[in-house]
Amino acid sequence: MKDFMTGNHAVAHAVKLCRTPLIAAYPITPQTAIYEKLSEWEASGKLKGIMMRTESEHSAMASCIAASLTGVRTFTATSSQGLALMHEMLHFAAGCRVPVVMANVNRLLAAPWGFWADQLDSLSQRDTGWIQFYCENGQESLDTVIQAYKIAEQVYLPVMLSLEAFFVSHFMEVVDLPEQEQVDQFLPPMDLPHKFNIDKPGFLVPVVPSELYQKYKYMAQGSMDSAKEIAVRVGHEFKEGFGRGYGIIEPIMLEDAEVALVTAGSITSTARVAIKELRAQGKKLGLLKLRLFRPFPVEAVQVALRGKKKIAVIDRNISLGGGGIFCQELRAALVHSSEHPLIYSFIAGIGGTDVTSEVIKKIALDVLKRDDPVDKPVWIMGE
């Protein structure tokens, strides 16, 4: 069934469709609409699960971890400062290997204060051990929630999906709402082999010796690696069931491209239009959309960008003192490629500034002309 809705409501629908029994959250703009919609459904009896209104995001995540360990599906949504406050518990979630799913609405981090789109909040959580997806629009956000459970419940790692503030969270688009039976068929009830057993009480997160700590991390890294393959498989299964698919990355007109643009999130939609226009003018341009960020799809990216001479990464984020974070990851992934492509970093859209088709075309034409390596990121200042 098709409906017209915001990205936030698309996420809420997905949570309802996944029959998540426990949602623990704390409201924060621009995520609040997810929280409100789920609360509304809980009040009217449409939501079968429980909304736990916790006193903070830190507690929300702690609640999700505890509930998840009893063997139930859990969900939370947050944004920006809320995610930052949750930081400590993110490590606990990953360390406890709980399949919690979280939607993060990408919003800039203070200071100064603001509510606008920026990916720094979730990218700052890069090393917490969570699987991370970046979604282009409302439909993809909805579909990624459903996929996220299926991935998380196989690798025993939590999944965070990000959708940008307002551009996705509040823009209304046509969304194809799956039928409940479809989702039920795709996503069977959660059945973890390990969960709290009241007859065999245990002590969670004990002090462990160094060697054992190392072993836990080593095992988690192994699971992270396997997540790439599982994410691809789940993507295929989803496509079979629902007729839509995204892949962990998406190559667009890359085959014969001289210059490849790389984007993540909502800028991709604009880039699709810009590329089409430049192609019409005879410019050999292609686009690579990064959807899975952790684990970083190194092999898939290497294959997709093989033979490209010049690559331009557009980042709606900045690691101060470094550069665009997606660009850093990409450079690291391609460091062993024989062609040694020139990889340019463009910082655009910081703090919610608009990245229009014109901006993207300007970047593409600029890169077409360049032949020298540039280490520093190039800032595209919004007006």
Partner 1 sequence: MTAESDSSSEFVIPISYGSSEITQTGKWGFQKPDTVFKTAPCQEACPTGINIAQFLYLANEGMYGEALLAILKESPFPGVCGRVCFHPCELNCNRTQYDESVSIHAMERYVSDATSNQTIKFVPLPSGESRRVAIIGAGPAGLSCAYFLSLLGHRVSVFEARKEPGGVMRWGIPGYRLPKSILKREIRRILSLPIELRTGIEVGKAVSFYELGAFDAVFVSPGAQIGVPISIPGEKLDQVWKGREFLDRINSKVKVKLGKETIVIGGGNTAMDVARSALRLGSRVTVAYRRTRNEMPAIQDEIEEAEVEGIQLKYLIQPVKVNFLKTKRLAVKFQCMKLSSLDQGGRPKAIPIKGKFITLETDHLIAAVGEQVDLSWLPLELTKNGLIEKNPSPKIFAGGDAVDQARTIVTAIGGGKRAAISIDSFFRGHDDHAVLSKIRTGDKGSLSMETYLRGREKEDWPEAREVVPYEEINTLFFEPSRRIRMRKRNRDKVLKGFSEVNLGYNAKEAKFSASRCFSCGTCNYCYNCYYFCPEGVISLDPAQWRKEVDFDHCKGCGTCAKACPRSVVEMREYP
Query: Which parts of this chain interact with partner 1 (CB under 8 A)?
Result: 69, 95-97, 156, 193-194, 200-209, 212, 216, 219
Q: Name the residue nearer to partner 1 (CB basis): 192 or 378.
A: 192
Q: Name the residue nearer to partner 1 (CB basis): 97 or 107.
A: 97
Q: Name the residue nearer to partner 1 (CB basis): 113 or 203.
A: 203
Rounded to whole angstroms, the Cα distance separating 160 from 131 reads 6
Q: Name the residue nearer to partner 1 (CB basis): 112 or 193.
A: 193
Closest approach of partner 1 to the CB of residue 145, in Å: 24
Rounded to whole angstroms, the Cα distance separating 308 from 286 reads 10
Closest approach of partner 1 to the CB of residue 247, in Å: 28
List C-alpha distances in Å: 213 to 91, 128, 208, 220, 235. Answer: 13, 15, 6, 11, 33
List C-alpha distances in Å: 94 to 40, 128, 197. Answer: 30, 7, 20
- Count of CA atoms in the C-beta half-sphere (13 A) of 42: 18
Closest approach of partner 1 to the CB of residue 67, in Å: 14
Closest approach of partner 1 to the CB of residue 297, in Å: 24
Closest approach of partner 1 to the CB of residue 74, in Å: 15
Indicate the residue type of 183: V
Q: Name the residue nearer to partner 1 (CB basis): 51 or 101.
A: 101
List C-alpha distances in Å: 322 to 68, 317, 328, 336. Answer: 37, 11, 8, 21
Signed CA dihedral, 194, 198, 204, 207: sign only: negative
Q: Name the residue nearer to partner 1 (CB basis): 220 or 368.
A: 220
Closest approach of partner 1 to the CB of residue 215, in Å: 8
Any idea which residue has 């970083």 for tokens?
A: 296
